[in-house]
C-alpha cells in the first residue's frame, strides 16, 4: 500500500470512527469540563495540546475527523475551596471507543471523589489519597463485574499522577502511579518527580481474591523556585522513526532526554518574564515533529500524545498579590 492509498484508507476509517464515536466524545468532553470547571478564570495558568498523527498525514486529513476527545490521555486542573489546586494527568489503555470508555469511567470517579471531599468542610485530601480513592473505584466496579460474571473480568486501566499545590504554604505534594511530573526551575534546571512505567498501575481486579494495595510514589516539594510543572504522556517518549520503509518496527525512539531538552530550550531563547506555558508546550511538539522529519514513521507504533504545562510562577505571583490586597483591606 503506497502513501496515498494509506492516507485514503486512514481518512475513511477516521470518518467512520467520527460518526460512531461522536456521542461518546461529547459525553467525555462534558464530563471532564464539569470536573475541570472550565468557566473558571483559573484556566489561564496552564496550556495543553494533543499531538496527533504523522505530520505529513495530518496535513492531508480533514482535522475535523482527526480529533474525537477519545484519546487515552487525559488531564484536569481543579481549584478547591480549601485553597488547594489539584492537577490530575493520566493515560488510559487503548484508543478510540475503548480508551473513551475508560476515560469516562475515570472522569466519573474523579467527580465523585472531588464532590465528596474537595468542596466539603472535611480535611482536604492529599494527592496520595486522591490516587488511592480512584484505585478504590477500579476495585469496586471491577469486583461488581466479577460477581456478575467471573469469567469476564473488566480489563486494563490507567497510569496517572496527582499533584496538590498549596499556594499559601508554597508547597506541593504528589502521588505518581506510572507518570512523572517535571518541575522546571526558575534558573533553567529540571527536577523530576515520579517515573514513567509501561504497565498500568490502576487496574480492574482479575479475581475476587484480595489485591495488594497500590503503592504510588509519594513526596512533597517547595514551589518557591518552580517556574513550571510539565507533564507528558509516554507517546512522546516512545515516538518511533525508521530509515526503512515497509516496516512496522522503528529503528529508534525519541526518549525522555529529548523531552527534557525541549522543555528547557525556551529558557535559552526568551527572558523568564516573557515565557509562557504555551512556549514550553509548543517546544515539545516541535521537538517531536522535527525529530521525525525526513524519516519513515511506522503507523502501528504511534501512540496518543498529550503535553500539559502549568505556570506555577505566574499563578504564585497572582495569589500573592491577591493575598496582599486582602491584607491591606483588613488593615484599613
Q: What is the structure's pLDDT at 143?
A: 92
User: Could you tell me which residue, 60 or 211, shows the higher pLDDT?
Assistant: 211
Q: What is the structure's pLDDT at 82?
A: 72
**Mean pLDDT confidence for 42-63:** 69
Instruction: CATH number of the domain at 102, please.
Output: 3.60.40.10
Determine the length of the chain. Answer: 332
For the stretch 196-207, pLDDT in tens is: 998 899 999 988
Q: What is the structure's pLDDT at 43?
A: 80
User: 104 is written with which cell numbers?
Assistant: 469516562
User: Where does the pLDDT of residue 250 fall: very low under 50, low under 70, confident under 90, or very high at 90 and above?
Assistant: confident
Q: What is the structure's pLDDT at 318?
A: 79
Can you tell me the distance from the alpha carbon of 106 to that of 160, in angstroms, rounded to the nearest whole number? 11
Can you tell me the distance from the alpha carbon of 320 to that of 317, in angstroms, rounded to the nearest whole number? 5
**Mean pLDDT confidence for 36-47:** 79
Residue 24: count of CB within 10 angstroms of its CB: 18
**Mean pLDDT confidence for 109-120:** 82
* pLDDT over 50 (residue 64): no
Domain enclosing residue 88, as ranges: 3-331
**Mean pLDDT confidence for 4-26:** 71
* pLDDT over 80 (residue 320): no
Q: Are 311 and 277 in contact (CB under 8 A)?
A: yes
Residue 149, judged by CB atoms within 10 A of its CB (0-12, 13-18, 19+), counts as: exposed
Q: Which is nearest to 305 in space by CA: 25, 72, 124, 93?
A: 72
Burial 227-263 (b: 16+ CB within 10 A, else e): bbbbbbbbbbbbbbbbeeeeeeebeebbebebbeebb
Residue 42: count of CB within 10 angstroms of its CB: 16
Can you tell me the distance from the alpha carbon of 34 to that of 36, in angstroms, rounded to the nearest whole number? 6
Q: Are 57 and 4 in contact (CB under 8 A)?
A: no
* pLDDT over 60 (residue 57): no
User: Where does the pLDDT of residue 271 fall: very low under 50, low under 70, confident under 90, or very high at 90 and above?
Assistant: confident
User: Where does the pLDDT of residue 331 fall: very low under 50, low under 70, confident under 90, or very high at 90 and above?
Assistant: very low
Rounded to two decimals, the pTM is: 0.87
Q: What is the structure's pLDDT at 111?
A: 92
User: Could you tell me which residue, 182 or 316, shows the higher pLDDT?
Assistant: 182
**Mean pLDDT confidence for 245-269:** 90
Q: Are 218 and 128 in contact (CB under 8 A)?
A: yes
Share of the chain above pLDDT 90, in %: 47
Mean pLDDT of the residues in the chain: 84
User: Where does the pLDDT of residue 67 fall: very low under 50, low under 70, confident under 90, or very high at 90 and above?
Assistant: very low
* pLDDT over 70 (residue 55): no
Q: What is the 3-state secondary structure (H, E, C) of the chain?
A: CCHHHHHHHHHHHHHHHHHHHHHHHHHHHHHHHHHHCCCCHHHHHEEEEEECCCHHHHHHCCHHHCCCCCCCEEEEEEECCCCCEEEEEEEECCCHHHHHHHHHHHHHHHHHHHHHHHCCCCCCCCHHHHHHHHHHHHHHHHHHHHHHCCCCCCCCEEEEEEEEEECCCCEEEEEEEECCEEEEECCCCEEEECCCCCCCCEECCCCCCCCCCCCCEEEEEECCCEEEEEEECHHHHCCEEECCCCCCCCCEECCHHHHHHHHHHHHHHCCHHHCCHHHHHHHHHHHHHHHHCCCECCHHHCCCEEEEEEEHHHHHHHHHHHHHHHHHHHHC
Q: What is the structure's pLDDT at 246?
A: 72
Strand partners, 309: 47, 230
> What's the structural domain count of the chain?
1
User: Where does the pLDDT of residue 328 fall: very low under 50, low under 70, confident under 90, or very high at 90 and above?
Assistant: very low
Q: What is the structure's pLDDT at 47?
A: 93
User: Could you tell me which residue, 63 or 82, shows the higher pLDDT?
Assistant: 82
Q: What is the structure's pLDDT at 3?
A: 64
Q: Are 177 and 167 in contact (CB under 8 A)?
A: no
For the stretch 152-179, pLDDT in tens is: 999 899 999 999 999 888 999 999 999 9
Amino acid at each position: 500500500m503506497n502513501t496515498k492509498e494509506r492516507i485514503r484508507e486512514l481518512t475513511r476509517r477516521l470518518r467512520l470512527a467520527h460518526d460512531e464515536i461522536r456521542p461518546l466524545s461529547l459525553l467525555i468532553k462534558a464530563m471532564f469540563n464539569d470536573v475541570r470547571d472550565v468557566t473558571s478564570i483559573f484556566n489561564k495558568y496552564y496550556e495543553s495540546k494533543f499531538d496527533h498523527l504523522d505530520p505529513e498525514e495530518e496535513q492531508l486529513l480533514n482535522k475535523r475527523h482527526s480529533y474525537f476527545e477519545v484519546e487515552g490521555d487525559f488531564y484536569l486542573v481543579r481549584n478547591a475551596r480549601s485553597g488547594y489546586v489539584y492537577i490530575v494527568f493520566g493515560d488510559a489503555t487503548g484508543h478510540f471507543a475503548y480508551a473513551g470508555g475508560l476515560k469516562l469511567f475515570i472522569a466519573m470517579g474523579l467527580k465523585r471523589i472531588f464532590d465528596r471531599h474537595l468542596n466539603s468542610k472535611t480535611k482536604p485530601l492529599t494527592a496520595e489519597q486522591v490516587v488511592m480513592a480512584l484505585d478504590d473505584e477500579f476495585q469496586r466496579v471491577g469486583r461488581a463485574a466479577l460477581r456478575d460474571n467471573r469469567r469476564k473480568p473488566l480489563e486494563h486501566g490507567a497510569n496517572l499522577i496527582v499533584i496538590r499545590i498549596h499556594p499559601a504554604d508554597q508547597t506541593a505534594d504528589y502521588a505518581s502511579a506510572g507518570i512523572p511530573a517535571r518541575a522546571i526551575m526558575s534558573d533553567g534546571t529540571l527536577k523530576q518527580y515520579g517515573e514513567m512505567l509501561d504497565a498500568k498501575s490502576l487496574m480492574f481486579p482479575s479475581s475476587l481474591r484480595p489485591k495488594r494495595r497500590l503503592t504510588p510514589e509519594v513526596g512533597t516539594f517547595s514551589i518557591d523556585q518552580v517556574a513550571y510543572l510539565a507533564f507528558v504522556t509516554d507517546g512522546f517518549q516512545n515516538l518511533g522513526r525508521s530509515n526503512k520503509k515497509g516496516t512496522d518496527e522503528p529503528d529508534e525512539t525519541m526518549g525522555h532526554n529529548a523531552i527534557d531538552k525541549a522543555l528547557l530550550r525556551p529558557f535559552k531563547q526568551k527572558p523568564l518574564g516573557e515565557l509562557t506555558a504555551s512556549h514550553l508546550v509548543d517546544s515539545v511538539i516541535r521537538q517531536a515533529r522535527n525529530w521525525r522529519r525526513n524519516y519513515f514513521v511506522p503507523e502501528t507504533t504511534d501512540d496518543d500524545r498529550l503535553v500539559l504545562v502549568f505556570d506555577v510562577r505566574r499563578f504564585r505571583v497572582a495569589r500573592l498579590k491577591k493575598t496582599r490586597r486582602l491584607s491591606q483591606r483588613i488593615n484599613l
